[in-house]
């Protein structure tokens, strides 16, 4: 038997042959109290919303739903600096049609600097000429200051606990991802300020705060959403969550839904976990901030979908009528043939925000062409990080 056949058999045994009974989702941290995963917690959704040509109810035709996403690419890297290109985007839909698109781009240079006899990472921003806003088919240039995080919030100790790997100092490259995420939250706040009561904002992300100072930007977004009585949610395409028996949560939900004979149904699963206020010393002392203020569900948004997604809803906007509105709006978006069961708005905003490898290579060449005589010096510094690429090129 070929080793791959043996491996496939072992994987199947691990996925299927474990008994699925009263398993709980494993969440890291003492603030989570998980409920057993049981068949009774599936709620079937109305399947009449699937047709693109179906007439919309007045509430669904009036509400707007905004999708937010971002992308970044590292153009240059040494142990002492990282140059990254960052793009964030938003798409607003009404009556299942795109009405507004916003896209912002900038460069961030992250540098390692000495401070109090230790190493910190600091950032500098450089503008891009391609920032734009499209509304009703018209393009308008706009500034991007509102989506730039404060530099002091991105001054990280190189051994900050949220970026370290093992015993080594945090990779300087990680700062680009953090900067991009802060910008996504600032863009979500900007868009939320332009929407109305009961409108929706959906992020391609969890609603959890992971990095130092991230809670500042979440709190700003939560404040706007709460004041304007809006609905905030985060939908994630993938999850690494396991149960307390070591099974994939998604695999367990697939098995339970089959036992419930829901293979050809749309549904959501709730409740999953109870989240209490996180206590984190100095952080909560001055902000009293809940690191993960969300209700967590799992959803299947199209009867033909093979995918189950984790959906988080800001707990201040979690009410029965809001849940119904959110799920209905997402269902209306979930029948695009490109990715059945995944909201089209997130597909669209991903296209606007994504930085492709081809674009990354173009920007690297553009930098090289414009760096002039400085590039010879920079190239020497780059040799500290790119030697592995020479071997990659021979494969």
Q: Provide CB contacts within 8 A for 110, sequence distance 6+.
A: 81, 82, 83, 84, 121, 122, 123, 172, 175, 176, 179
pLDDT tens-place string over residues 93-138: 999 899 999 999 999 999 999 998 999 999 999 987 666 555 554 4
pLDDT of residue 382: 72
Dump pLDDT digits (tens) for 279-307. 444 434 334 457 899 999 999 999 999 99
Q: Output 393 or 32, whichever has higher pLDDT.
A: 32
174-191 burial: b if 16+ Cβ within 10 Å, else e: bbbbbbbbbbbbbbbbbb
% of the chain exceeding 70 in pLDDT: 83
Q: What's the pLDDT tens digit per position in 5-59?
A: 888 888 777 765 556 678 999 988 778 999 999 999 999 997 655 444 455 666 6
Model confidence band, residue 212 (pLDDT cutoffs 50, 70, 90): very high
Q: Which of 266, 337, 243, 197 is nearest to 25 (CA)?
A: 243
Using an 8 Å Cβ cutoff, are 159 and 170 in contact? yes
How sure is the predictor about 378, in pLDDT bands with cuts at 50, 70 and 90? confident
Number of H-type helices and E-type strands within the chain: 11, 15
**At 345, is the pLDDT very low, low, confident or very high (cuts 50, 70, 90)?**
very high
Domain ranges of the chain: 19-355, 366-395
Model pTM? 0.89
Confidence of residue 149 (pLDDT cuts 50, 70, 90): very high
Rounded CA-CA distance 58/70 in Å is 32
Residues 87 and 105: beta-carbon distance below 8 Å: yes
In this model, does residue 310 exceed pLDDT 70?
A: yes
Q: Are 348 and 98 a contacting pair, CB within 8 Å? A: yes
Residue with the bigger pLDDT between 319 and 394: it is: 319
Nearest to 39 by CA among 335, 235, 269: 269
- Which of 25-29, 163-167, 250-254 has the weakest average pLDDT? 25-29
Task: Tell me what pLDDT residue 282 has.
Answer: 41
Q: Are 234 and 294 within 8 A, CB to CB?
A: yes
User: How many CB atoms neighbour CB 139 within 10 A?
Assistant: 10
Sign for the CA dihedral angle at 64, 65, 67, 68 comes to positive
Lowest mean pLDDT among 166-170, 333-337, 385-389: 385-389
Residue that has been written with the tokens 């829901």 in this structure: 262
Q: Is the pLDDT of residue 239 over 80?
A: yes
């Amino acid at each position: 038997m070929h080793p791959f056949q043996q491996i496939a058999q072992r994987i199947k045994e691990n996925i299927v042959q474990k008994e699925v009974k009263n398993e709980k989702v494993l969440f890291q941290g003492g603030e989570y109290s998980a409920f057993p995963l049981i068949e009774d917690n599936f709620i079937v959704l109305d399947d009449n919303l699937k047709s693109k040509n179906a007439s919309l109810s007045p509430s669904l035709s009036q509400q707007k739903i905004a999708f937010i996403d971002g992308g970044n690419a590292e153009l240059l890297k040494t142990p002492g600096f990282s140059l990254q290109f960052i793009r964030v985007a938003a798409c607003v839909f009404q009556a299942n049609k795109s009405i507004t698109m916003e896209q912002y781009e900038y460069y961030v240079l992250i540098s390692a600097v000495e401070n109090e006899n230790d190493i910190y990472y600091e950032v500098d921003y450089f503008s891009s000429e391609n920032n734009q806003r499209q509304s009703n088919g018209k393009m308008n240039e706009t500034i991007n200051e509102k989506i730039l995080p404060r530099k002091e919030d991105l001054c990280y100790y190189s051994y900050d606990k949220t970026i370290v790997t093992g015993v080594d100092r945090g990779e300087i490259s990680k700062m680009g991802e953090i900067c991009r995420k802060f910008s996504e939250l600032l863009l979500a706040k900007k868009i939320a300020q332009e929407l109305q009561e009961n409108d929706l904002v959906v992020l391609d992300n969890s609603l959890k705060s992971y990095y130092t100072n991230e809670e500042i930007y979440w709190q700003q977004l939560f404040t706007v959403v709460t004041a304007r009585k809006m609905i905030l949610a985060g939908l994630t395409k993938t999850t690494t969550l396991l149960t307390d028996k070591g099974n994939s949560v998604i695999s367990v939900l697939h098995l339970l839904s089959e036992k419930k004979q829901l293979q050809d149904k749309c549904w959501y699963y709730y409740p999953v976990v109870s989240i209490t206020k996180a206590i984190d010393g100095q952080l909560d002392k001055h902000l009293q901030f809940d690191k993960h203020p969300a209700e967590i569900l799992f959803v299947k948004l199209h009867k033909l979908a093979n995918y189950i997604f984790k959906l988080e809803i800001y707990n201040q906007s979690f009410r029965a009528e809001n849940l119904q509105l959110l799920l209905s709006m997402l269902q209306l978006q979930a029948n695009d043939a490109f990715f059945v069961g995944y909201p089209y708005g997130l597909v669209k905003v991903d296209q606007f925000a994504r930085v492709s490898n081809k674009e990354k290579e173009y920007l690297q060449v553009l930098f090289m062409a414009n760096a002039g005589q400085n590039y010879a010096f920079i190239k020497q510094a780059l040799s500290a990080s790119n030697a592995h690429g020479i071997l990659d090129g021979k494969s």
